Amino acid sequence: MSGILFAFTLGCSLVFLRHENLLMGIDWVRSKPILGLAALVCPLLAVGSAFGLVLWTGEYYNAIVNISPFIVVCIGIDDAFLMTAAWHRTNPELSPARRLAETLAEAAVAISITSFTDMLTFGIGCFTTLPGVRLFCLYTFWGITFTYIYQITYFTAVIAYAGEMEDKGLHSLFGFWPCWKKCIRPELANTITLKWFFAGSVCREYDRQQDEIFGRNSMEPKKVPIKNGENENESILQRLKAYLSTLESNQDDSDHHLKSHHGRETFVNWFFREFYGPYLLKTNTKVMVLVLYLIYAFIALFGCSQIKEGLNPKNLVRESFYLNNFYVLIDETFWQEGLQMQVVVNNPPDLYDPNGRESFNKMREEFEDTQFTMKKNATMIWLDAFETKIIEDESNFNISLPKTSEEWYERVKEWLITAGGRRLWELDMVWDKHNESSNHLKAFRFQVGLKNYRTPTDHTNSCKLMRQIASKFPELNITTFHEYYPFADQYLELKPALFRNIFLAVFCMMVVSILMIPNLFAAFTIIAAIISIDVGVLGYMALWGVNLESVSMITVIMSIGFSVDLSAHIAYAYVKSEGCSKTKAIAALETLGWPVFLGAFTTLVGITVLTFVDAYIIQIFFKTIFLVIGFSLIHGMVFLPVLLTIMLPNANIRKEKHFPHRNEKAEEMQFAARKLTPKLSVIHPAVDAISIDSKNLHEIDLVSQKGETEAETTKTSEKK
């Protein structure tokens, strides 16, 4: 999996350069292959730190925890894509320090939402009553926590280092070798080899040198004055500020007049703005999307009604393992008929007394007359053997039957000692040694034959039925037991624990959404998307043949965190945008459509390797994660934009007084007119690069930005 993800992240870190002769090449100045490596190293470091911390605290380790690294790696790479996209969005003419600051300012919200929601989801799972689920959530919680810490420290430092290399025009691969240290400018690359392996866009350092040569505005960094002397009247705070200023003495503020983000056109932006967004928001397409959602919801609800609990023991081993054939034979023969259930009578009645015997026989008949138990001839009980013995003694040896209760119990003890009953039945009876009467029977057990006991659902239903029968006779204090009752108890706890954890997780997601999304109604649309995705995962999981057990419960809990990630990004971008509902939805897709798709796609790539593992538990994990990511991507890219345009056409965090006379129809006409207006590129073709791109969320204002671009284009044409 690491090799596949490394190749994918490395490919996504490359930036392509279009030369003047329309030939394509790799821009080795702006490409960041080192970030592709760091994107994998960061979550791997987090996995090692998390496992070390949890094991150091004395917690146990089980097989389900092996799945945790896959989750941490996928989340870490998703965050790396968001930060890389934010870096490519910044203006290359800025200093590396300011570009890094703009990158963190843009990606902080997205990464924080992703990390905090996932931490909350698995943090809630740490308090579940199932030990396996608790351990998995504990390991994954700390893995995500360390991933977030390393993302804003280690990965940010790697971005800063790569940014310094880009600022100096160094080759992103060969920058350490003196002979290949600098990239060749695009206009000097006259061969295919140079274009593909040694060319790079013009760096900021070269522009600064050209400004000095031709006497243009000086780009020398301005020095912050440093005070050598200290005034005795200065306060401690003032002295601290003076000391901190010495650490920033080489700060470059010569780019303060430049825009923080460039307006470069990329294929991805064009695709979402000109093709996908307008097509999705057509009236006919909206109707089709709503119909598809109703079909999706109907199938999901039907699947929820078909959920089955439990894990078949034969699925605990690999299909190719020899023990699997043993479980298959047991399933077809022994578990069909022949198992024995233990019934313990902790407060037995006087079995010589007719009333006590009638109460016991009634209880026994209740156990023997169910769909999961065999008839009287399959019940193993010492009482039947003793009754047969005393009747034989009367017939063969003319020994009279017991006349009193004390004599009856005395004959029972003699039978156990002298007549052969001890070998078979002594362990089934407990005599009260502290009672004045040595013949007092304190407790005993008998065994009932079982049938139709093949599936985990049969185990669960049989367990519930036997306990219900036992509760009908409280005076006897009956306990029932079978070797698979611990599994049945786990299955009985699954649904309540699942719904409890889902409720707590959704509540926490609602709180986070309200705090992070600056619009209350948009936050509730995210909650609706989370519920819709979870219902879909449960329903389609059941239809795909996955039962509800500990592993699938883990993945369902995890689906809450994944589902809120993609939906929150789109809803946040929609609320931050300006204009009519159609303009806002298209801007949201143009801004975060590509990073959201990449994050989901890398997760799917990361779990694809699990399809080759010959283990049923791993297959369950793959199926549920595939459903989670697939449904989250469909909701974020299809259902949610349509829902937002219908339910929240005027949702905006800015005050409505800025738009007192908003006319949505007029804005849609203006949007269509802008689409038909040809645009002139003011970007030099040598640096017109295609990269993974996203717009800055706090600067989305399509009307004003495009108006400024057209004005600048007009001024440039007039000067020429």
pLDDT in tens, 248-270: 545 555 555 555 555 556 677 77
407: containing domain: 337-483
Number of neighbours of residue 17 by Cβ within 10 angstroms: 27
Lowest-confidence pick of 13-22, 82-91, 352-361, 491-500 = 13-22
User: Which residues are 478's β-sheet partners?
Assistant: 345
Contacts of 32 (CB under 8 A, 6+ apart): 13, 15, 84, 87, 159, 162, 166, 172
24 pLDDT band, cuts 50/70/90, is low
Whether residue 584 is contained in a domain is answered as yes
Lowest-confidence pick of 153-157, 484-488, 666-670 = 666-670
Residues 479 and 501 in one domain: no
Lowest-confidence pick of 16-20, 427-431, 484-488 = 16-20
How far apart CA 647 and CA 104 sit, in angstroms, is 32
How far apart CA 111 and CA 271 sit, in angstroms, is 25
Whether residue 226 is contained in a domain is answered as no
User: Which of the listed residues 483, 506, 536 is the one where a domain comes to its end?
Assistant: 483
DSSP secondary structure code for residue 202 in this structure: P
Residues 268 and 363 in one domain: no
pLDDT at 712 over 70: no
- Taking CA atoms, 680 is separated from 119, 242, 704, in Å, by 46, 49, 17
Residues 362 and 509 in one domain: no
What the block records as the tokens of 82 is 């968001």
How far apart CA 314 and CA 330 sit, in angstroms, is 9
User: Which of the listed residues 622, 646, 666 is the one where a domain comes to its end?
Assistant: 666
Dihedrals phi, psi of 13, to nearest 5 degrees: -85, -5
Residues 524 and 657 in one domain: yes
245 pLDDT band, cuts 50/70/90, is low
Residues 521 and 438 in one domain: no
Whether residue 505 is contained in a domain is answered as yes
385 burial (CB, 10 Å; 0-12 / 13-18 / 19+) is middle
How far apart CA 231 and CA 242 sit, in angstroms, is 11
- Taking CA atoms, 604 is separated from 74, 77, 633, in Å, by 9, 12, 11
**pLDDT value at residue 91:** 74
| Cβ proximity of 162 and 32 under 8 Å | yes
pLDDT at 301 over 90: yes
pLDDT in tens, 642-684: 888 888 777 654 444 344 444 444 444 444 544 444 443 333 3
**pLDDT value at residue 413:** 85
**pLDDT value at residue 234:** 56
Mean pLDDT, range 351-355, rounded to an integer: 89
Mean pLDDT, range 495-524, rounded to an integer: 79
685 pLDDT band, cuts 50/70/90, is very low
pLDDT at 559 over 60: yes
User: Could you tell me the CATH number of the domain that includes residue 535?
Assistant: 1.20.1640.10
Among the ranges 106-115, 167-176, 455-464, which has the highest mean pLDDT value? 455-464
Whether residue 565 is contained in a domain is answered as yes
Residues 602 and 534 in one domain: yes
| Cβ proximity of 13 and 155 under 8 Å | no
What the block records as the tokens of 124 is 């809630």
E strands in 629-695: 689-690
Lowest-confidence pick of 252-261, 273-282, 286-295, 370-379 = 252-261
User: Which of the listed residues 644, 666, 688 is the one where a domain comes to its end?
Assistant: 666
440 burial (CB, 10 Å; 0-12 / 13-18 / 19+) is middle
294 pLDDT band, cuts 50/70/90, is very high
Residues 562 and 417 in one domain: no
Dihedrals phi, psi of 162, to nearest 5 degrees: -65, -35
Dihedrals phi, psi of 278, to nearest 5 degrees: -60, -40
What the block records as the tokens of 17 is 């350069």
pLDDT in tens, 394-430: 888 888 888 888 889 888 888 887 766 667 788 888 8
Q: What is the mean pLDDT of the chain?
A: 74
Of 639, 649, 542, 637, whose CA–CA distance to 291 is shortest?
639
- What's the order of all strands across the beta sheet hosting 16-18? 24-26, 16-18, 689-690
Residues 467 and 519 in one domain: no
**pLDDT value at residue 690:** 34
Q: Quick one: what percent of the chain has pLDDT higher than 70? A: 70
Residues 469 and 494 in one domain: no
What is 87-115 written as a DSSP string?
HHHB-TTS-HHHHHHHHHHHHHHHHHHHH
DSSP secondary structure code for residue 129 in this structure: S
How far apart CA 718 and CA 12 sit, in angstroms, is 39
Between 697 and 370, where is the model more confident? 370
190 pLDDT band, cuts 50/70/90, is low
Residues 477 and 351 in one domain: yes
pLDDT at 482 over 70: yes
Residues 460 and 510 in one domain: no
Residues 103 and 153 in one domain: yes
Of 398, 395, 364, 396, whose CA–CA distance to 378 is shortest?
364
pLDDT at 213 over 70: no
pTM for this prediction: 0.63
Among the ranges 19-23, 51-55, 660-664, which has the highest mean pLDDT value? 51-55
Contacts of 61 (CB under 8 A, 6+ apart): 55, 135
Among the ranges 15-19, 278-282, 653-657, which has the highest mean pLDDT value? 278-282
How far apart CA 436 and CA 113 sit, in angstroms, is 71
What the block records as the tokens of 84 is 């890389």
Of 293, 278, 269, whose CA–CA distance to 580 is shortest?
278
Lowest-confidence pick of 58-62, 126-130, 171-175, 681-685 = 681-685
120 pLDDT band, cuts 50/70/90, is confident
Whether residue 585 is contained in a domain is answered as yes
Q: Quick one: what percent of the chain has pLDDT higher than 90? A: 12
Among the ranges 242-246, 337-341, 409-413, 665-669, which has the highest mean pLDDT value? 409-413
594 pLDDT band, cuts 50/70/90, is confident
Lowest-confidence pick of 42-56, 322-336, 538-552, 572-586 = 322-336
Lowest-confidence pick of 20-29, 121-130, 667-676 = 667-676
Q: Give the CA radius of gyration of the chain.
A: 36
Number of domains in the chain: 2
How many CA atoms lie within 13 Å of 160's alpha carbon, on the beta-carbon side? 12
What the block records as the tokens of 598 is 């990449």
Lowest-confidence pick of 264-278, 335-349, 593-607, 680-694 = 680-694
**pLDDT value at residue 46:** 93
Dihedrals phi, psi of 429, to nearest 5 degrees: -130, 140
Whether residue 222 is contained in a domain is answered as no
| Cβ proximity of 13 and 7 under 8 Å | no
**pLDDT value at residue 680:** 38
Whether residue 231 is contained in a domain is answered as no
pLDDT at 373 over 80: yes
Whether residue 53 is contained in a domain is answered as yes
